[in-house]
Structure 1
Amino acid sequence: MITLKDQIGQEHSFEKTPKRIVSLVPSQTETLFDMGLEEELVGITKFCIHPYHLKATKIKVGGTKKVHVEKIKALEPDIIIANKEENTLEIVESLKGICPVWVTDVVTLDDNIQMIEDFGALFNKRTEAKKWIDKLNYATKDFINYVKDKESYKVAYFIWREPYMVAGRDTFINELLRLNRFENVYEAREERYPEIELRKIRIQGDPEVVFLSSEPFPFSEEHAFEVGRFTHHGKTVFVDGEMFSWYGTHLFRAFDYFKQIHERLS
């Protein structure tokens, strides 16, 4: 019998290692795959695109905000892996009658390491977990050393349009902006994803760089022009949303991308 607590404090007990996993978050699906759990993954979301071949080999059980409960039930999972931000409380509650629902909550780099460590304990993959944790810790230290002499910029990170929304405090995106030594002009707002008015952007911080993310809203040149009209001397940069918002092992792939952004800005 193993008893472990997830990242929202729920205690789960298992008589044996869970062997049938349904994953409701793309970055967690990728992490489980990277830890050698491809065979154990029986259900994923339609947004689980890394590695790409899983879309053809695994049962898709819906999205992150809407799932097919009966389809999940038919898979007879031993565990469902969800996330506090990506999946709604309603989804989590609706699935608890099927099997334990393990909920992650990743806001900081330490949370990310904890999630991987938890997966190692849950699925008897401690060696794989330690390998990834060591890789991530080394890559993080290397990047901190790289970025320490880079120029710091005041930035705004846009995630949505109509209404315009940006990444704020207590988000993994903000954590990665900090890691890059970017000053998020909306970090002081109480909301995690504040709605903003473009015409007030100069008053609210006047960012030197505006990042337009590729997800969840696919910003285009038209939107860059629209945003650019309201910034003072701000530079508008399109960024890969996966690199700033996907946690787990995906973070390891993000460091080279971040270095490219710094080279572009300099």
Structure 2
Amino acid sequence: MRVVSLVPSLTEAVAVSAPGVLVGVTDWCTRPTDLAGAVRIGGTKNPDVAAVTALRPDLVIANEEENRAADLDALRAAGIPVLVTEIRGLDQAFAELERVLAACGVRGRPGWLDAAEAAWADVRPHDPPRTAVVPIWRRPWMVLGRDTFAGDLLARLGVRNVYADHAERYPRIALDELNAAAPDLVVLPDEPYRFTRDDGPEAFPGAAAALVDGRHLTWYGPSLAEAPASLARALRAAHR
């Protein structure tokens, strides 16, 4: 089986579950750290379609949000099967991970997937619930909106995204409006924009700032087993 992954989360899931299957990965695939046997084929939004085709994969795994339809259509036109995932929440993530691993030839259920489901089954949301703005970029400011995987994870921890009902999934919102929403928290991940204590919290003087590991908030794979504890710690440590 020869697989090319265009999604960092799925790269990690496949690599730890079926070592040696991946022949191509993106430049953003950083987990696991040892992917020496796989060719780098560009970014998630600009993969080198010719390079992917040259690898003669039996399957390309992708995501409807992270990858462009035009690139996936080009791969299909070259005769390459493409499996496209859709992940908008935790339950969907578990189901899609099972589908991807089965397609990649994984037999049985990997232990990390059981551990991840057990970890999230034990989660008890913060009481009372808190509201949050969750920026993912600045210049311009962009935040989590409706129907997102990260928003679902936070909701399970008792944190309600202020923009969960917005018409867009990742709306651009002016900083004055973000502050006017008066959230209890500002949740700042370190990816895709690398927010730090000196880059983000100063923009929200009235709210506590929780700096979280972006991999634990946005990746769906083995990191899900440690994500609940990691995110809960960061939320408890939120400072003004």
TM-score (norm 1): 0.83
What is the CA distance between 1:128 and its match in structure 2? 2.9
Preserved contact between residue 212 and residue 239 of structure 1 (Cα < 8 Å): yes
CA distance in 1, matches of 2:50, 2:79: 10
- 3-state SS in 2 of match to 1:201: helix
Tell me which residue corresponds to 2:9.
Answer: 27
What is the CA distance between 1:52 and its match in structure 2? 0.7
Change (3 A) 1:223 1:125: same
Q: Which runs of 5+ in 1 are unaligned?
A: 1-18
The one-letter code matched in structure 2 to 1:106 is: I
What is the CA distance between 1:34 and its match in structure 2? 2.2
1:121 maps onto 2:97 in alignment: no
What is the CA distance between 1:127 and its match in structure 2? 1.0
- 3-state SS in 1 of match to 2:19: coil
The one-letter code matched in structure 1 to 2:227 is: A
Tell me which residue corresponds to 2:187.
Answer: 211
CA distance in 2, matches of 1:57, 1:124: 18
Aligned partner of 2:74 among 94, 99, 109: 94
Tell me which residue corresponds to 2:61.
Answer: 81
Q: Percent identity?
A: 35
Tell me which residue corresponds to 1:10.
Answer: none
Aligned partner of 1:46 among 27, 47, 56: 27
Aligned partner of 2:93 among 112, 121, 127: 112
Residues 223-238 of structure 1 correspond to what in structure 2 (within 5 A)?
A: 223-229=199-205, 233-238=206-211
Residues 1-266 of structure 1 correspond to what in structure 2 (within 5 A)?
A: 19-35=1-17, 37-54=18-35, 56-96=36-76, 97-129=78-110, 131-143=111-123, 147-148=124-125, 150-203=127-180, 205-229=181-205, 233-265=206-238
Q: Which runs of 5+ in 2 are unaligned?
A: none
CA distance in 2, matches of 1:67, 1:98: 17
- 3-state SS in 2 of match to 1:128: coil
Structure number with larger C-alpha Rg: 1
Across the aligned residues of Structure 1 and Structure 2, the Cα RMSD in angstroms comes to 1.8
What is the CA distance between 1:202 and its match in structure 2? 3.8
Count of residues in Structure 1 that have an aligned counterpart in Structure 2:
238
CA distance in 2, matches of 1:221, 1:123: 40
Structure 1 runs (4+) deviating above 4 angstroms are none
CA displacement, residues 198-244 of structure 1 (integer Å, 9 cap, x when unaligned): 112243x2111111221111124443254124xxx311222211111
TM-score (norm 2): 0.92
CA displacement, residues 28-70 of structure 1 (integer Å, 9 cap, x when unaligned): 00000121x221100001111111111x331100010001111
What is the CA distance between 1:265 and its match in structure 2? 4.0
Preserved contact between residue 117 and residue 225 of structure 2 (Cα < 8 Å): no
CA distance in 1, matches of 2:3, 2:126: 43
